[in-house]
Amino acid sequence: MIWSRAKVFWVVLLGTPMRAVRFEADGSVESVNVPVPPVGPEDVLVQVLAVGVCHTDLHILDQVASGARQPVVPGHEIAGKVVKIGSDVYMINAGDLVAVHFEQPCGQCRHCRKKRTNLCREGHSLGFDVQGGYAEYVKARQDTVLPLPPEMDPALAAPLGCSGATAYRAVVALGNAGEEDLVVVIGAGGVGLSAVQIAKAQGARVLAVDLREEARKAALDAGAESAVSPEDAKVVRDADIVVDFVGLGSTLELGRSLLGVGGRYVAVAAGAESVPMTATDIMEGGRAYLGSYSSTMADLARVVSLAEVGRLKPFVTRRAPLEDAEKVLSDLRDGKIVGRAVLEPTAV
Ligand SMILES: [Zn+2]
Ligand SMILES: [Zn+2]
């Protein structure tokens, strides 16, 4: 009996090794072997078929290199196949194709009880403070994985977990975009292009604003009625919703100037630049200024539905094996990747 307990402990302790990529304290991107994470009663183990390479991963790498964050296996845009379920799992089955939400909320706090899981301060985030999807397997709570249509390409599903759900939260859950609304999307990068498509799916008219000509072209391809430079946007005075994916003082000023009466400004990107603002500025015309932080499972479920009917298509322009992570990240940093790159740790 003592022997068998010791043996179980030993097996759990060692785990089975798997391939992963880890951001190390010296700023390097290393291929490593780490144990397959043990699955608790309410967890599922997901074989990672695709993981998006997001700009946020570069910020995380910089934070690890500066000592502001512990070394971590990154990756927060995850799609894969459930290969193992915990003893109390009832929401999902082994064999299901799923999208994984990177937020792993505590499930207990006031925000979690109200389903505002994006605001939970007691949980963890895959690829930020616990092992993420740059690995063969990842562990997630059962209520943070969402079944996908079996025919959906995991590489196209993976980015829905971050850029898709984040855009949905900003445009619909907070911006409340609807038919005939004029939605201005400032910043037509990966998340911005998702926002353009989501606003169109809501029946809104979309004006995209970006300094880069190729980004403006991509916004038009994504369905924007028009796409202009920040300078050329200044004639607009009747936007119903402005979604700012850039977060500079200049974009906050610009976005504010475009809002019509009753308009809503939604800040999605972080930014440290301040702008002068009075109480009258906020009150007059009944405008609202909102902050959109991360996303919930409900947001993810909605974007998966939009993707299923072809109304939301992540721009996946590159697929690479896990071993190419360092190269893909450096290409992303050098601006050589338009749209999304996806790693395929266990492509089948
Ligand atoms: Zn992301
Ligand atoms: Zn919580």
> For 303-341, what is each residue's pLDDT tens digit?
999 999 999 998 898 999 999 999 999 999 998 887 789
User: So what's the pLDDT on residue 10?
Assistant: 41
Angle subtended by helix axes 190-201 and 213-221, to nearest 10: 30
Of the listed ligands, the closest to the CA of 141 is 2
Strands (DSSP E) along 182-302, which ranges? 182-186, 205-209, 226-228, 239-244, 259-267, 288-291
How many whole angstroms from 117 Cα to the centroid of ligand 2?
A: 6
How many whole angstroms from 159 Cα to the centroid of ligand 1?
A: 7
DSSP assignment, residue 273?
Answer: -
How many whole angstroms from 317 Cα to the centroid of ligand 2?
A: 35
**Distance separating alpha carbons of residues 169 and 175, to the nearest angstrom:** 8
User: So what's the pLDDT on residue 103?
Assistant: 97
DSSP reduced 3-state for 63: helix
Residues in contact with 11: Cβ distance below 8 Å, sequence separation at least 6, in sequence order: none
**Residue 65 scores a pLDDT above 80:** yes
How many whole angstroms from 53 Cα to the centroid of ligand 2?
A: 27
How many whole angstroms from 142 Cα to the centroid of ligand 2?
A: 15
Domains present along the chain, CATH in parentheses: 15-161+315-343 (3.90.180.10), 165-291 (3.40.50.720)
**Residue 11 scores a pLDDT above 60:** no
Element (H, E) at 79: strand 78-85
**Residue 80 scores a pLDDT above 80:** yes
User: So what's the pLDDT on residue 348?
Assistant: 62
For the chain, the straight-line distance linking the first and the last C-alpha, in angstroms and rounded, comes to 41
Of the listed ligands, the closest to the CA of 57 is 1
**Residue 15 scores a pLDDT above 60:** yes
User: So what's the pLDDT on residue 221?
Assistant: 95
pTM assigned to the model? 0.90
How many whole angstroms from 41 Cα to the centroid of ligand 2?
A: 18
Of the listed ligands, the closest to the CA of 60 is 1
How many whole angstroms from 121 Cα to the centroid of ligand 2?
A: 6
> For 220-262, what is each residue's pLDDT tens digit?
999 999 999 999 999 999 999 999 999 999 999 999 999 999 9
Pick the range with the lowest mean pLDDT from 15-19, 165-169, 177-181, 265-269: 15-19
**Distance separating alpha carbons of residues 169 and 188, to the nearest angstrom:** 16
> For 139-195, what is each residue's pLDDT tens digit?
999 999 999 999 999 999 999 999 999 999 999 999 999 999 999 999 998 899 999
How many whole angstroms from 58 Cα to the centroid of ligand 1?
A: 10
Ligand 2 is an ion; its neighbours by CB within 5 Å are: 105-106, 109, 112, 120, 122
**Position 2 confidence tier, pLDDT thresholds 50, 70, 90:** very low
User: So what's the pLDDT on residue 189?
Assistant: 85
**Residue 7 scores a pLDDT above 60:** no
**Position 287 confidence tier, pLDDT thresholds 50, 70, 90:** very high
Of the listed ligands, the closest to the CA of 296 is 2
User: So what's the pLDDT on residue 4?
Assistant: 45
User: So what's the pLDDT on residue 315?
Assistant: 84
Of the listed ligands, the closest to the CA of 109 is 2
Task: Provide the phi-psi class of 37: left if phi over 0, else alpha when psi is between -120 and 50, else beta.
Answer: beta
**CB–CB of 290/265 below 8 Å?**
yes
The DSSP bridge partners found for residue 267 are 244, 291
Give the chain's mean pLDDT.
93
DSSP reduced 3-state for 65: helix
